[in-house]
């Protein structure tokens, strides 16, 4: 556990100095490890490389600056970027929109959506041209559409027209496949925003095998912070992409299902469906 403590200390160090250039040797020294052991251990504990974690911390600082009303260029330089052009090149992946659009709560961003039937009820999928930004369960299409519009209040939102855009059709097909335990290794592009901790949790959740479950404590240990069970539960509660980020596979240590953003019955339905499908596949094999 000593090395985990050292890794977490480095995480805090990076977050506090996200605008500064940081060298691997320097970070390894703080953790009390050799450079090569540190690089391997950091990724196994945090789920991303030190470089990726530092980049995420920088984006987080940029977002805070933009939300506070700081001028775009000032926000960019204060976050440690050498030039605005580098930020705009990566904006779609980091912010889901350009810095100026992010500052205006998504104004000018186009989102298309469609609703599908699943074993847990209706699921509305919303996507930009960069990836899925919304995947949530609900009781009716109007309710889900209203929720999507509330979340992206200044974006241009409209139903996906037929025939669906090839990318959107492929993403929907992949989500349907995941409900059946198919193509689980295929990465679906997500156009979502997250804190560094949420990113760690959400990435870890995607590693839980189809049909299996883990406790909140096991997930906390898996992301390198054994005492963060409550924080893990909060990250699950803020999951914007049901099924793609399978937070339904996280339960209490007692075996109780615990909470679920879209209702316990849906969580139970998803788990029952996965277990039944997994057993059926095993018998066929």
Which CATH number belongs to the domain containing residue 257 in this structure?
1.10.10.10
Could you tell me if 162 and 228 lie in one domain? no
Specify the number of domains making up the chain: 3
What's the confidence (pLDDT) of residue 89? 47
Pull the structure tokens for residue 19: 């605008």
Examine residue 15 and state whether it is found in any structural domain, yes or no: yes
pLDDT > 90 in the chain, percent: 36
Could you tell me if 65 and 96 lie in one domain? yes
Examine residue 268 and state whether it is found in any structural domain, yes or no: yes
Could you tell me if 169 and 212 lie in one domain? no
Q: How confident is the model at residue 125 (pLDDT cuts 50, 70, 90)?
A: very high
Choosing from 11, 133, 236, 247, the catalytic residue is 247
What's the confidence (pLDDT) of residue 91? 46
Kindly report, residue by residue over 169-220, the tens digit of the pLDDT: 999 999 998 888 886 677 788 888 777 788 889 989 999 999 999 999 999 9
Of 179, 212, 239, the residue at which a domain comes to its end is 179
Examine residue 76 and state whether it is found in any structural domain, yes or no: yes
Could you tell me if 147 and 218 lie in one domain? no
DSSP letters of 213-253? -EEHHHHHHHTT-TT-HHHHHHHHHT-SBTTTS-GGGEE-T
Q: Confirm whether 247 is a catalytic residue.
A: yes
* Chain centroid to CA 44: 18
Tell which residue, 220, 222, 217, 226, has the closest CA to residue 207.
222
Examine residue 161 and state whether it is found in any structural domain, yes or no: yes
pLDDT > 70 in the chain, percent: 79
Could you tell me if 247 and 162 lie in one domain? no
Q: Give the residue numbers spanning the domain of 73.
A: 2-103
Could you tell me if 71 and 99 lie in one domain? yes
Does the pLDDT at position 104 exceed 70? Answer: no
Could you tell me if 204 and 137 lie in one domain? no
Examine residue 58 and state whether it is found in any structural domain, yes or no: yes
What's the confidence (pLDDT) of residue 222? 92
Beta-ladder partners of 121 = 118
What's the confidence (pLDDT) of residue 191? 84
Only one residue has tokens 């330089």, namely 77
CB distance 42 to 9 below 8 Å: no
Kindly report, residue by residue over 250-260, the tens digit of the pLDDT: 999 999 999 99
The pTM of the full predicted model, rounded to 2 decimals, is 0.65
What's the confidence (pLDDT) of residue 86? 52
Contacts for 101 with CB less than 8 Å, ≥ 6 apart: 95, 107, 108, 109
Contacts for 92 with CB less than 8 Å, ≥ 6 apart: 128, 130, 191
Kindly report, residue by residue over 36-94, the tens digit of the pLDDT: 888 888 887 777 788 888 877 777 776 665 655 555 555 555 554 544 445 444 544 44
Pull the structure tokens for residue 100: 């100026």
Only one residue has tokens 């209490």, namely 252
Could you tell me if 212 and 174 lie in one domain? no
E strands of the chain, at which residues? Answer: 110-118, 121-127, 132-138, 156-159, 214-215, 250-251
What is the spatial distance between Cα 135 and Cα 190, in angstroms, rounded to a whole number? 10
Could you tell me if 7 and 98 lie in one domain? yes
What is the spatial distance between Cα 95 and Cα 13, in angstroms, rounded to a whole number? 23
Of 103, 137, 157, the residue at which a domain comes to its end is 103
The number of beta carbons lying within 10 Å of the beta carbon of residue 110 is 12
Of 79, 103, 127, the residue at which a domain comes to its end is 103
Could you tell me if 31 and 99 lie in one domain? yes
Could you tell me if 228 and 202 lie in one domain? yes
Which CATH number belongs to the domain containing residue 87 in this structure?
1.10.10.60
Examine residue 12 and state whether it is found in any structural domain, yes or no: yes
Pull the structure tokens for residue 99: 């810095």
Which CATH number belongs to the domain containing residue 120 in this structure?
3.30.160.70
Strand 250-251 and strand 110-118: the pairing is unpaired
Examine residue 229 and state whether it is found in any structural domain, yes or no: yes
Could you tell me if 66 and 88 lie in one domain? yes
Examine residue 191 and state whether it is found in any structural domain, yes or no: no
HSE, side-chain direction, 13 A CA sphere, residue 223: 28
Tell which residue, 246, 244, 124, has the closest CA to residue 191.
244
């Amino acid at each position: 556990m000593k090395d985990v403590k050292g890794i977490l200390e480095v995480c805090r160090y990076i977050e506090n100095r996200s605008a500064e250039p940081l060298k691997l040797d320097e970070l390894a020294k703080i953790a009390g490890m050799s450079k090569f052991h540190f690089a391997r251990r950091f990724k196994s504990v945090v789920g991303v490389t030190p470089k990726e974690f530092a980049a995420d911390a920088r984006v987080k600082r940029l977002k805070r600056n933009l939300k506070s009303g700081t001028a775009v260029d000032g926000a960019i330089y204060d976050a440690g970027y050498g030039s605005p052009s580098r930020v705009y090149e990566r904006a779609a992946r980091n912010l889901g929109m350009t810095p100026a659009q992010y500052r205006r709560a998504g104004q000018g961003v186009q989102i298309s959506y469609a609703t599908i039937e699943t074993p847990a009820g209706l699921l509305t999928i919303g996507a930009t041209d960069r990836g899925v930004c919304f995947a949530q369960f609900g009781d009716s299409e109007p309710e889900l559409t209203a929720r999507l519009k509330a979340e992206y209040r200044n974006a241009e939102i409209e139903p996906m027209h037929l025939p669906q855009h090839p990318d959107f059709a492929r993403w929907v097909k992949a989500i349907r496949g995941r409900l059946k335990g198919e193509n689980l290794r295929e990465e679906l592009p997500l156009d979502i925003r997250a804190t560094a901790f949420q990113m760690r949790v959400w990435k870890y959740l995607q590693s839980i095998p189809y049909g299996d479950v883990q406790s909140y404590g096991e997930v906390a240990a898996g992301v390198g912070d054994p005492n963060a069970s409550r924080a893990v539960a909060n990250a699950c509660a803020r999951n914007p992409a049901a099924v793609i980020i399978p937070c339904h596979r996280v339960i209490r240590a007692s075996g109780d299902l615990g909470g679920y953003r879209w209702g316990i019955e849906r969580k139970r339905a998803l788990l029952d469906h996965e277990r039944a499908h997994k057993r059926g596949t095993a018998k066929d094999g």
